[in-house]
Amino acid sequence: MDAGLKRELEAKVYAGERLSREDGVALYDSDDLAWLGRLAQHRRTERNGDRVMFNVNRHLNLTNVCSASCAYCSFQRKPGEKDAYTMRIDEAVRKAKEMEDEQLTELHIVNGLHPTLPWRYYPKVLRELKAALPKVKLKAFTATEVQWFEKISGLTADEILDELMDAGLESLTGGGAEIFDWEVRQHIVDHACHWEDWSRIHRLAHSKGMKTPSTMLYGHIEEPRHRVDHVLRLRELQDETGGFVVFIPLRYQHDFVDSADGKIRNRIQARTTMAAPAESLKTFAVSRLLFDNVPHVKCFWVMHGLSVAQMSLNFGVDDLDGSVVEYKITHDADSYGTPNTMHRDDLLHLIWDAGFQPVERNTRYEVVREYDPAPSLAQRRAEPQQVWA
Interface residues toward ligand SF4, by CB under 6 A: 66, 68-70, 73, 75-76, 112-113, 144, 190-191
Cite the beta strand spans of the chain per DSSP E: 51-55, 57-60, 106-109, 137-140, 169-171, 212-218, 244-251, 296-300, 319-321, 357-361, 367-370
Torsion region of 316: left, alpha or beta (phi above 0 gives left; psi -120 to 50 gives alpha):
left
Minimum separation from the CB atom of position 267 to ligand SF4 (A):
11
Minimum separation from the CB atom of position 113 to ligand SF4 (A):
5
Instruction: Choose between 70 and 285: whose C-beta lies nearer to ligand SF4.
Output: 70
Under a CB-based contact definition with an 8 Å cutoff, are residues 328 and 61 in contact? yes
Distances (CA, A) of 315 to 70, 134, 259, 275, 289: 30, 36, 33, 16, 10
73 marked as binding residue: yes
Instruction: Choose between 55 and 199: whose C-beta lies nearer to ligand SF4.
Output: 199
Three-state secondary-structure class, residue 35: helix
Q: Which amino acid is at 4?
A: G
DSSP class of residue 324 equals: -
Instruction: Choose between 260 and 382: whose C-beta lies nearer to ligand SF4.
Output: 260
Instruction: Choose between 48 and 144: whose C-beta lies nearer to ligand SF4.
Output: 144
Instruction: Choose between 113 and 285: whose C-beta lies nearer to ligand SF4.
Output: 113
70 marked as binding residue: yes
Minimum separation from the CB atom of position 191 to ligand SF4 (A):
5
Distances (CA, A) of 344 to 54, 107, 147, 349: 9, 15, 35, 9
Minimum separation from the CB atom of position 76 to ligand SF4 (A):
4
46 marked as binding residue: no
Minimum separation from the CB atom of position 331 to ligand SF4 (A):
14
299 marked as binding residue: no
Minimum separation from the CB atom of position 168 to ligand SF4 (A):
23
Q: What is the DSSP string of 146-159?
A: HHHHHHHH---HHH
Q: Which residues pair with 249 in a beta bridge?
A: 216
How many other C-beta atoms are found inside a 10 Å radius of the C-beta of residue 120?
11
Instruction: Choose between 73 and 146: whose C-beta lies nearer to ligand SF4.
Output: 73
Could you tell me which residues are annotated as the binding site for S-adenosyl-L-methionine? 178
